[in-house]
Amino acid sequence: MSRRKLVVGNWKMNGMRAHLDEVEAIGRIAAEHPAVEVGLCLPATLIMAADALRGAAFIGGQDNHWNASGAHTGCLSAEMLAEAGAQWVIVGHSERRDAQGESDAEVAAKAAAAHAAGLKVILCVGESLEVRDAGGAEAVVSAQLLASLPEGAAADWLAIAYEPIWAIGTGRIPTMEAVASMHAALRAALATRIGSEAEKMRILYGGSMNGDNAADLMAIADVDGGLVGGASLTAAKFGPVIAAAG
């Protein structure tokens, strides 16, 4: 099964108007690599301005509430992100699961709400170092994935990002064998829920991916792209990651 590579930058809580020229430059690089689907999930404050500059890249958000509107101070709905110009959104990032106490059920509800609003979704899962060291990572992350998966999950609107928490922003990555084994386990877990659709669904790797390791990571059979933090903040750093995908 050939799956189009998906390479997405997650700027997290980084980016001011002064950085919009990087969005524009990344959009130009995306145009040079039409075989790769490229996007930037930006702080919400930049989405509207970035939408006008994005070139061949898509713009996404980093989280949405499961309700369309209401008394939720400080939150954004998927409808709001879509109206601002977002085409995708990240849900379930470990930085939100941990700091905001998001449950698997809430992550599934957010994904369903995003889909209902017309957004595509990157659903994040990943294990802590304690779980990795204890040897149960594949079972734990597979269970987390199935518990976070929204009803009707389909490859044309949902992608998975496997992000070992201990690899995020640390410069450490799992061995290539461990990444291959985890991605295969996640695809097998998906197949128990969505059958043959699992073969079409893209499973991204995230956690210290950069221009030096991206080609090796994305050469793994079940790695269909990357969710990139620090190395997506500038075109100079993100360009080589995009190029490594094709």
Ligand X SMILES: O=C[C@H](O)COP(=O)(O)O
Q: What tokens does 126 get?
A: 């990943």
Binding mask 67-106 for ligand X (x = CB under 6 A): --------------------------x-------------
Binding mask 177-216 for ligand X (x = CB under 6 A): -----------------------------xxxx-------
CB of 95 to ligand X, least distance (A): 7
Q: In this structure, are residues 117 and 85 in contact, taking their beta carbons and an 8 Å threshold?
A: no
Which member of 230, 241, 242, 244 binds ligand X (CB under 6 A)?
230
Total residues contacting ligand X (rule CB under 6 A)? 14
Of the residues 93, 106, 127, 183, only one is catalytic, namely 93
Tell me how far apart the alpha carbons of residues 188 and 80 are, in angstroms, rounded to a whole number.
Answer: 34
CB of 180 to ligand X, least distance (A): 19
Catalytic residue flag (residue 151)? no
Q: Closer CB to ligand X, residue 123 or residue 227?
A: 227
Q: Closer CB to ligand X, residue 122 or residue 189?
A: 122
Tell me how far apart the alpha carbons of residues 226 and 205 are, in angstroms, rounded to a whole number.
Answer: 5
Question: E-strand spans in 84-157?
Answer: 88-91, 120-125
Residues 152-181 that bind ligand X (CB under 6 A): 163, 168-169
Catalytic residue flag (residue 163)? yes
Which member of 228, 235, 241, 245 binds ligand X (CB under 6 A)?
228
Q: What tokens does 241 get?
A: 């990651």
In Å, how far are 93, 94, 128 from 98, measured between CA atoms? 9, 6, 11
CB of 207 to ligand X, least distance (A): 5
Residue type, 185: A
Please name the residues in contact with 60: beta carbons below 8 A apart, sequence gap of 6 or more: 8, 39, 40, 41, 42, 81, 86, 87, 88, 89, 90, 119, 120, 122
Tell me how far apart the alpha carbons of residues 235 and 133 are, in angstroms, rounded to a whole number.
Answer: 35
Residues that bind ligand X (CB under 6 A): 10, 93, 163, 168-169, 206-209, 227-231
Q: What amino acid positions are annotated as catalytic residues?
A: 93, 163
